[in-house]
Amino acid sequence: MNILHLSEKYELNDLEKQIVAYIQEHLPELKSIGIRQMAKDNYTSTSTIYKLCNKFGFDGYSDMIYHLTSTKDNETIDLHQQYRSFRDKFQDLLQDRSRRIIVFGLGFSAPIAEYMQQRLTLLGYQAMCVVHMEMFSQHFFDNTIFMVVSYSGQTPRLNEIIETAYHNHVSIISFLGNPHSPITKLSSLPIVIGHYDSFSHDMNHPNTFFGEAIIAFETLLF
């Protein structure tokens, strides 16, 4: 659990950082710690704990504890079969090759977006991988498709861009890890990948989202 990353991403205050550190320290026995005990141990109220749970996207304390302590199923998934249901809509959106495709991603999503852009360009699409805001002006919204890659889908800058595009009637294809992201509702085709874990930013744990995003993209493209 990368506390520094969580602190920056969710703009945690000092007390919330303390609670996250407490959760990390007590992870093995977390199932036996009730919300009142956690509040007492951190000299705060249960409402503060609830607010933190909501900030991380959980329905409540029990949901967060279950999510953090449950053993994930490691069964092999037929990823190609999983994404076939999106293929028709995906190919319909990309059918007109005169349309400009702007592919966008931040952080670890940036190289995935760049891969997608280069792949589309080699196939004859007018694709560009954009990293500066000038390319997101209304001048570029006509006859344009946005393709966005984001694990959390909660980055304010990214959400602002997608919301602006949505209100300008731009088609949006999104590859997301978080089904509760605001981007999901704004997308013409939201493609949710894997199981989102808001605590999965620990560098010592695998994150398969980015690899699966490429698999999904390749599956839909052909």
- For 123-143, the pLDDT digits (tens) are 999 999 976 666 666 666 778
**Closest to 12 (Cα-Cα) out of 219, 78, 23:** 23
Domains and CATH numbers, the chain: 3-69 (1.10.10.10), 79-221 (3.40.50.10490)
> What is the Cα–Cα distance from 91 to 141, expressed in whole angstroms?
20
- Amino acid code (one letter) for 117: Q
Structure tokens at 196: 């989102």
The residue with tokens 């990390």 is 24
Q: pTM, whole model, 2 decimals?
A: 0.67
* Burial state string for 66-83 with b = 16 or more CB within 10 A and e = fewer than 16: ebbeeeeeeeeeebeebb
**Three-point CA angle 8, 161, 106, nearest 5°:** 45
Mean pLDDT of the 169-175 span: 94
State residue 141's pLDDT score.
Answer: 74
End-to-end, the C-alpha distance of the chain in Å comes to: 37
Confidence tier at 74 by pLDDT (50, 70, 90): very low
Q: Could you tell me how far CA 211 lies from the centroid of its own chain?
A: 14
CB atoms within 10 A of CB 51: 12
96: three-class secondary structure by DSSP: coil
Residue 75 has pLDDT above 60, yes or no: no
